Structure 1
Amino acid sequence: MTETKSTEEKVIREQLVELLRGGSAHADFDASIGDLAPEFYTKRPKGSPHSAWQLLEHLRIALHDLLVFCTDPKYVAPKWPDDYWPAEEAHVEEEKWQRSVRAVKADLAEFEKLVRDHETNLYAKIPWGDGQTVLREVLLAADHNSYHLGQLVLIRKQLGAWHE
């Protein structure tokens, strides 16, 4: 690989990691979910289709699915939408919330490792996919996270549980 190609490759990988982490133009994962009191986990503002808990779990499930798709030749797609959204719950314990938070962070870290690994060809088609690349899946993960983190912030604002 030429030095220019190597530099370009390094830049794209760094930019992808930054995009996965979020926060450049909006609240990142930690800010979006951080210090939310447990009494707000399952509350839904009037007119909102989801609670903070449902959005967090959906983020966890979808992010994990994208990561497994990128890395496991035996990948089997979950059923849409049933397997991607949790059932509504009346109450969620803080430990259950924290487990979900830790799982999202762990999968984000795995995505970062995948992106930083120069053995990962970002542009090659994933052999068990339908033309997708790791690059596409990383962009999809970041976009999906951003979308739902925005919803989480809005829910928090509507519930009076957001700090400016």
Structure 2
Amino acid sequence: MQANERKTIVSELITLIETGNAHVSLDETINDIPADFRTVIPENLPYSIWQLLEHIRITQWDIVEFCLSPDHKSPKWPDEYWPEKTDSISDEKWEETLEQIKKDRNRFFDLLNNDKTDLYSPLPHGDGQNIFREALLIADHTSYHLGEILVLRRLLKCWK
């Protein structure tokens, strides 16, 4: 692969993960959510905004760790990928989760930007996964759950 082609692919992957392209970005999705709405679970729905956001963090962290460390042990599915229901979440914990999402994204972006990272060969410690696939997985998984957060915000009447 030529350097120009690689730079284009990496740039597109990073843009997809950061902005969602045709979807609303993480920052836009969670901007200005009133603290008392973070843990509300609307009738007939299984999760709160908080649980979805924390699930995004846990899953993205797991993907990034899998890519970076052959010794990584993933959490137990599904129990350890979803936080328990809670009546409230502190501003500190909310911000900590957002910061960890951004930190893990940046760790993954560093991996993508490293010219020595092979985007397409299977990872030696996986069962066919490659970095390109994992980048698409982060983008796809995140956009899916951000869409759910937007639906929750609409139901709670706290969206534009």
Please indicate the TM-score interval, normalised by the length of the shorter structure: over 0.9
Shift, 1:124, TM fit: 1.5
Matched with 2:98 is 101
> Given that residues 22 and 142 in structure 1 are in contact (C-alpha distance below 8 angstroms), is that contact kept between their aligned partners in structure 2?
no
Post-superposition CA distance 1:102-155 (Å, at most 9, x none):
111111111111111111111121111111001111110100000000000110
Give the counterpart of 1:58 among 55, 79, 82.
55
Matched, 1:128 2:128: no
SS in 2 for 1:79: coil
RMSD: 1.0
Post-superposition CA distance 1:31-65 (Å, at most 9, x none):
01111110011001222110000000000000000
> Given that residues 58 and 84 in structure 1 are in contact (C-alpha distance below 8 angstroms), is that contact kept between their aligned partners in structure 2?
yes
Give the counterpart of 1:47 among 39, 44, 47.
44
Matched, 1:73 2:66: no
- Which has the higher mean CA deviation after the structures are superposed, 108-117 or 131-140? 108-117
Matched with 1:116 is 113
* Residue type at the aligned position of 1:92: I
Distance 1:52 1:78 in 2: 21
- Percent sequence identity over matched residues? 42
SS in 1 for 2:80: coil
Q: TM-score, normalised by structure 1?
A: 0.94
* Residue type at the aligned position of 1:72: S
Distance 1:81 1:24 in 2: 28
Matched with 1:91 is 88
Distance 2:30 2:24 in 1: 10
Shift, 1:22, TM fit: 2.4
Matched with 1:9 is 6
Give the counterpart of 1:27 among 24, 40, 44.
24
Post-superposition CA distance 1:68-125 (Å, at most 9, x none):
0000111112110011000001111111111101111111111111111111111121
Unaligned runs of 5+ in 1: none
Shift, 1:66, TM fit: 0.2
> Given that residues 22 and 146 in structure 1 are in contact (C-alpha distance below 8 angstroms), is that contact kept between their aligned partners in structure 2?
no
Matched, 1:158 2:155: yes
